[in-house]
Amino acid sequence: MAQLIDGKAVAARVRAEVKAEVEQLKASRGLVPGLTVVRVGEDPASKIYVTGKKKAAEEVGFNSWEEHPDESITEDALLAIIDRLNKDPAVHGILVQLPLPKHIDSERIISAVRPEKDADGFHPMNAGKLSLGKPALRPCTPFGVMRLLQEVGCNPAGKRAVVVGRSNIVGKPMALMLLQADATVTVCHRKSDLKFEVGMADIVVAAVGVPELIKGEWIKPGAVVIDVGMNRMPDGKLKGDVEFEKAKERASFITPVPGGVGPMTIAMLMRNTLDAAKAT
């Protein structure tokens, strides 16, 4: 029977570490890290996420601001906001909450953020550095998964890791981080034989967005299972991408949904913003 990985507790630890470093930074350099979240329009899910991010930023002692332009803002006007934030020395991290309205080219906006202030780690420069194995601000969700693995004493070196999903924000950077940690990495997608690949894995990271796609009986006994999936079910409950009840019979460690990877994403955003401030 697997041990549960308590993402809430690990995230609280990460925030406490960040808070302690913020206090040191204030004492040694008089520097207070600043995070600005840009939220366009009234997407209800974005509002919840942004509230969580602002709360965490305040908890760790950052200055935190929100830019909240109307849904009808033009791309040029949004670029002007980004340009102002890029030039503001009090702002060390800029996060553009996705999705943006359809008339705005998200890639153009993300690319306009200065890479040194790219708290989400989505800028092409940071993505490129990650693929080159160079230090960079890293996408928060896979960065959080690496911390969870570390917390349960799972060193990926020499292990077979299977990442299901190849999105630019989770699957691909996850695979690169595991590779950098010396795992042998396989990335799966719609054309993959999931049962075969998952069955070979010492570490399984599921980032798909299909409830319980990864069957418990596929899991290699003793594997570490990390479920990034967050699927809202008709009854309002959240379900992961892994068939949790059966997978936990075979895994050594497993993340629950909710309470596994979810809380880590915001905690690692705090870590990225602190690192961005320290680098100035």
Residue placing its CB nearer to ligand NAP in the complex, 13 or 215: 215
Q: Please indicate whether residue 120 is annotated as part of the active site.
A: yes
Q: Of these residues, 6, 53, 202, 241, which one is catalytic?
A: 53
Q: Name the residue nearer to ligand NAP (CB basis): 60 or 81.
A: 60
Q: HEC states along the chain?
A: CCEECCHHHHHHHHHHHHHHHHHHHHHHHCCCCEEEEECCCCCHHHHHHHHHHHHHHHHCCCEEEEECCCCCCCHHHHHHHHHHHHHCCCCCEEEECCCCCCCCCHHHHHHHCCHHHECCCCCHHHHHHHHHCCCCCCCHHHHHHHHHHHHCCCCCCCCEEEEECCCCCCHHHHHHHHHHCCCEEEEECCCCCHHHHHHCCCEEEECCCCCCCECHHHCCCCCEEEECCCEECCCCCEECCECHHHHHHHCCEECCCCCCCHHHHHHHHHHHHHHHHHCC
For this structure, is 53 an active site residue?
Answer: yes
Distance CA 193, CA 199 (A): 10
- Min dist CB 169 to ligand NAP, Å, is 5
Which candidate in 6, 120, 227, 241 is catalytic?
120
Tokens of 52: 């969580």
**Of 7 and 91, which CB lies nearer to ligand NAP in the complex structure?**
7
Closest approach, Cβ 262 to ligand NAP, in A, equals 4
Give the shortest CB-175-to-ligand NAP separation in angstroms: 11
Q: Which residues bind ligand NAP (CB under 6 A)?
A: 141, 164-167, 169-171, 188-190, 194, 207-210, 213, 228-231, 261-262, 265
Per annotation, catalytic residue among 97, 220, 227, 241 = 97
The residue (of 73 and 95) whose beta carbon lies closer to ligand NAP is 95
Question: At a CB cut-off of 8 Å and minimum separation 6, what does 199 contact?
Answer: 218, 219, 220
Nearer to ligand NAP by C-beta: 266 or 277?
Answer: 266
The residues assigned a catalytic role are 53, 97, 120
